[in-house]
Amino acid sequence: MNAGLLGPLRTPRAALDAIRLNEDPAQARELQALGEAANYVLSLTRPHPELGRSGSVCPYAAGGLQRQSILLTSLSLDTPDHDALAQVMHGVRNMVIEMGGTPEEAKLRAILVVLTGLDTSEAAPLVESVQRELKPFFVSVGLMIGEFFPGCAAPGLHNPDFRPLDTSFCGLAVRRMMANDVVFLLDQDCYVRSYLDEFGQDGAKRLARMLADGSCPPHRAEAIGQLLAERAGTSRLVAAEA
């Protein structure tokens, strides 16, 4: 199985238009799932009472929608095949990297793969296990891979009782790494190194500020400080050799 078995790429609004126009009755199940995902993406542009801060749920969603950089697709699976889904997501990774567009369009690029054909009891643990397996590699190439499924317990950043990834559909999204993704990357040294590779001195400054104001998890502060010191030492050595 590969990314070629995915349904057509659609913007969220195009997916909703396809449902409204009843473009393909044979694909009603896939379109329904895409419609749920499309409405979820649109909801990210609005505030939420449980968010824990002002503004929209996702500060990048409105820009991504405006530039048509956020795309949805469906994947129908007959069985909860971990390796098959992982292979498809590697194909989606390549799509995100290789898609053209302006620098701003590329920065806001995201592809959300919505799973159909499986019950939630099968799809949710499949999505969770594939996301966990692929995250280290995706992060190493400057990408993030996110999971969405009913009952997803991942908490919000500003309110631990908010569940932003608890959705009516099951899916995985791939997008470019953003500077403020650092909060999702503090738990492992390999993630921190990849973040510093991606954002260089600006990323190091952001991490240093987080250490100074206590934003880093206490049990990770020492390790992150060591990684910053190593990066600073490497930068000085490169500068001296130049």
pLDDT of residue 157: 85
Helices (H) and strands (E) in the chain, counts: 8, 4
Distance, in Å, from the CA atom of 63 to the CA atom of 61, rounded to the nearest integer, reads 5
Three-state DSSP state, 146: strand
User: 186-204 pLDDT, tens per residue?
Assistant: 999 999 999 999 999 999 9
Three-state DSSP state, 108: coil
Domain boundaries, the chain: 3-177, 189-241
Element (H, E) at 201: helix 189-213
Band of pLDDT at residue 29, cut at 50, 70 and 90:
confident
Element (H, E) at 38: helix 28-43
pTM for the predicted model, two decimal places: 0.91
Q: Does residue 77 carry a pLDDT above 60?
A: yes
